[in-house]
Amino acid sequence: MTSFSGTIAVFDSGVGGLSVLQHIRAELPTARLIYVADSAHVPYGDKSPVYIEARSLLLSRFLIEQGAEAIVIACNTATAAAAGGLRRHYSLPIIGMEPAVKPAVAATKTGVVGVLATIGTLESARFAALLEKYAGNVKIVTQGCPRLVEIVERGDLLGAEARQLIERYTAPLLASGADTLILGCTHYPFLAPLIREVVGAEITLVDTGLAVARELKRRIDLELPQPTDLDAMPPLGDERFYTSSEPTQAVRIMSKLWATGVTVEQLPVVYR
C-alpha cells in the first residue's frame, strides 16, 4: 500500500467526481484529499471547450494554492477539453478520465458495446481516438444523456424522472445488441443501482473510477516522494470539500453521495 500523506486534488463539473474520490480514498487511505464541485457551472457537457478549459485552469490554480501535489480531472468532458492545457501549464501529475472503451471491448460477448455519456464527451476528438485505438471489430453504439447530470446534482437517484430517462437512453443500446454499457460520465455511477434495475443483471456496467485511482497511485509511486520509514504508517488522511455554488445544498447532496456528513466550503469569489 502506498503510504502517501501528501495532498491530492480532484475537481469535476459538480458532485459526480465523488465517485472517483471514493476509489482514490480506498487506494490512498493516508492522502489528504481536496475536492471541488464546480456546480455553479454544471453541466460541462453543453459548454464550449474554451469555456471548460478556462474553468479547469482556474480551479487548478486554486487547488495548487491549497497545496495540491497531483490533480485528478474527475470529468470526461473536462479531460477532453482541458487535460492538454493543464499539462502544459503545470508540471505536477495531471490525471484525466476517459470512457473505458478498452475494458468494455474485452468484456463484451455479443460484440456490441453501448456508451452512455454527455454530448461533449461523445463529440470529442479524444473519444474518437479511443474508438479508433481499441474498438477493433466491436461495434460501439453511443447515447448522449441530457439531464442525467442534473438529476445526480439534485441527489434524485431513484426517482421517476431518472428511471424514465434511463429507460429512454438505454433502450436503443440494448436494441442494438449491447451487453456491456460504459458509464461515460463520473456522475453516472451514482445511478448504477437504478440502471441495473432497468437493464437487468446480465448487462455489464463499466466505469473508470477504479482505473483512474490506480493510475494516480502509480504516478505517485513514480513521481512523488514517499516516506523512507515503511514501518511508520502515516495517519489516515482527511477530506476537504468545496463548491462554486451555494454550500447549503452542496452539504446535503455531497453528504448523501459520500455516505457520511461533510462540511462544504464555498470557493472564494475569484474562483466562482
> How confident is the model at residue 120, as a pLDDT?
84
- Decide which of 170, 188, 206 is a domain's last residue: 206
Same domain, 61 and 184: no
- Decide which of 151, 173, 206 is a domain's last residue: 206
Q: Helices 76-89 and 49-65 meet at what angle, rounded to 10? A: 60
Residue 111 lies in a domain: yes
Hey, how many other C-beta atoms are within 10 angstroms of the C-beta on 81? 26
75 is catalytic: yes
Same domain, 178 and 126: yes
Sheet containing 32-37, strands listed edge to edge, beginning at the edge strand earlier in sequence: 94-95, 70-73, 7-12, 32-37, 239-243, 264-266
Domain range holding 49? 7-97+209-271
Q: Where are the alpha helices (DSSP H) in 32-180?
A: 49-65, 76-89, 101-107, 119-122, 125-134, 148-154, 160-175
Catalytic residue from among 34, 75, 148, 178: 75
pLDDT 10s digits, 131-163: 989 999 999 999 999 999 999 999 999 999 999
Give Cβ neighbours of residue 166 (< 8 Å, ≥ 6 apart): 148, 191, 194, 195, 198
Picking from 69, 89, 73, the residue whose alpha carbon sits closest to that of residue 81 is: 73
> How confident is the model at residue 173, as a pLDDT?
97
> How confident is the model at residue 230, as a pLDDT?
54
Same domain, 182 and 222: no
Picking from 201, 253, 206, the residue whose alpha carbon sits closest to that of residue 42 is: 253
Same domain, 118 and 193: yes
Catalytic residue from among 10, 83, 100, 185: 185
The residues of the chain scoring below 50 in pLDDT are: none
> How confident is the model at residue 109, as a pLDDT?
97
User: How many domains does one find in the chain?
Assistant: 2
Residue 166 lies in a domain: yes
**CB 205 within 8 Å of CB 177:** no
185 is catalytic: yes
Amino acid at 254: M
* CATH number of the domain encompassing residue 143: 3.40.50.1860
